[in-house]
Amino acid sequence: MGSKLIGCGSAIPSLSVSNDDLSKIVETSDEWIAARTGIRNRRVLSGNETLRELSVQAGKRALEMAQVNADDVDLVLLCTSTPDDLFGGAARVLAEVGCTNAFGFDITAACSGFILGLITATRFIKGGGIQNVLIIGADALSQFVDWTDRGTCILFGDAAGAVLVQACNADEDGLLGFCVQSDGNGQKHLNCPSSNINSILSKTNGVPSFPPKKGNFSYIEMNGKEVFRFAVRYVPQSIEKALEEAGLSASSIDWLLLHQANQRIIDAAASRLDIPSDKVISNLANYGNTSAASIPLALDEAVRAGKVKTGNVIAASGFGAGLTWGSAVVKW
Ligand code: ACO
């Protein structure tokens, strides 16, 4: 049994925050941010907006493009590290999309989340009994950014993107090759730690003392240089492995679609793979790093703009916290 990608959708918050806006709250400038990252704007949740609503909108748009009814969806994978509910957001999202016959769960892998979701969806389909899987990549890292830290607050934005994957004959399989890897030794370079990890229950003379505070998370902590080095070194290798499994070379793909973290990372990976810039999809100037949403958001824009066409081969790669990274060579 194969899997084909037949629809995509996305949704972004209404509030736009430019580099100039950020220069009013931290010591930075549009020139510095644009030169070091390629980012000029990002969207951030505001007012009553929720990540759940964005996820639902993106999911509905993917179903609409795929012309699949919500009640024909069997599985919904919500790839997010920032669900509205610590216990997971997939069940409520699938209910609001109207997927009355589906089950769902969250996949937590930050910026690699969507690629892992895509691969997980195809494995479920391969196992049989599953026809339609809705994969939603969504994150609102703005909640965990220290807006006084110019080293991190300039990078991130909020968004949701989705893809509908459908079962098909093995000879039509749209997942041509993939590769996933993790290195927990690199976790120290990029994380968002629990802030009350030491506040565990204890007993004194048989009397339990409860933690003084409820569980919570701290701010995103990042060693930008190490993450940059990791990405530039391992992402091209990961794509090469996925291409090898697909029996393809870098020169034969139509598009390179990397997690939108930094234009210099994207350019360096393309250059190592010898892929010309006109085959590289990039929209991070407008949205910054939207974590698990970045790949489906960029794909959705490229498909709706008519750039990515039916039958095109895309090498996609996600990388980030964990450290985790993964690549998938897919046919649109
Ligand atoms: N504006 C102006 N100056 C700044 C800013 C800023 N926003 N941020 C840092 N600086 C200063 C620093 O203080 C430093 O000054 P100093 O030389 O006087 O000490 C100087 O600029 C250089 O700082 P570096 O941190 O060395 O800058 P670098 O060139 O490494 O760029 C950046 C920083 C953009 C963060 C880069 O390292 C990067 O993009 N790394 C990858 C990060 C990434 O992609 N993370 C997301 C992964 S995905 C996920 O899982 C969430």
Tell me what pLDDT residue 199 has.
60
**Domain with residues 175-188+219-331, CATH architecture:** 3-Layer(aba) Sandwich (3.40)
Residue 225, ligand 1, Cβ within 6 A: yes
Rounded Cα distance between 310 and 33, Å, is: 35
Average pLDDT over residues 68-83: 98
Tell me what pLDDT residue 6 has.
97
CATH number for the domain whose boundaries are 2-172:
3.40.47.10
**Ligand 1 centroid vs 217 CA: distance in angstroms?**
23
Contacts of 239 (CB under 8 A, 6+ apart): 179, 250, 256, 269, 273, 315, 317, 327, 329
Residue 99 annotated as catalytic: no
Which of 99, 111, 179, 192 is flagged as catalytic?
111
- Amino acid letter for position 127: G
Tell me what pLDDT residue 295 has.
98
Q: Ligand 1 atom 38: the closest Cα is on which residue?
A: 224
Residue 111, ligand 1, Cβ within 6 A: yes
187-244 residue pLDDT tens: 999 999 887 666 666 778 888 777 666 778 889 999 999 999 999 999 999 999 999 9
Same fold, 2-172 and 175-188+219-331: yes
Residue 111 annotated as catalytic: yes
Rounded Cα distance between 156 and 33, Å, is: 12
Model pTM above 0.80: yes
Tell me what pLDDT residue 211 has.
67
Q: Give just the sign of the alpha carbon dihedral 124, 128, 130, 134.
A: positive
Q: Give 5's strand partners.
A: 165
158-191 residue pLDDT tens: 999 999 999 999 989 999 999 999 999 999 999 9
Residue to mutate, 158, 228, 294, ligand 1, most ligand atoms under 8 Å from C-beta: 228
Average pLDDT over residues 68-73: 98
Q: What's the ipTM?
A: 0.89
What is the three-state SS of 200-224?
A: CCEEECCEEECCCCCCCECCCEECH
Residue 223, ligand 1, Cβ within 6 A: no
Residue 153 annotated as catalytic: no
Residue ranges per domain, the chain?
2-172, 175-188+219-331
**Phi and psi, residue 105, nearest 5°:** -155, 165
Which of 8, 153, 192, 259 is flagged as catalytic?
259
Contacts of 97 (CB under 8 A, 6+ apart): 56, 59, 60, 63, 70, 73, 76, 134
139-152 residue pLDDT tens: 999 999 999 999 99
256-315 residue pLDDT tens: 999 999 999 999 999 999 999 999 999 999 999 999 999 999 999 999 999 999 999 999
26-44 residue pLDDT tens: 999 999 999 999 999 999 9
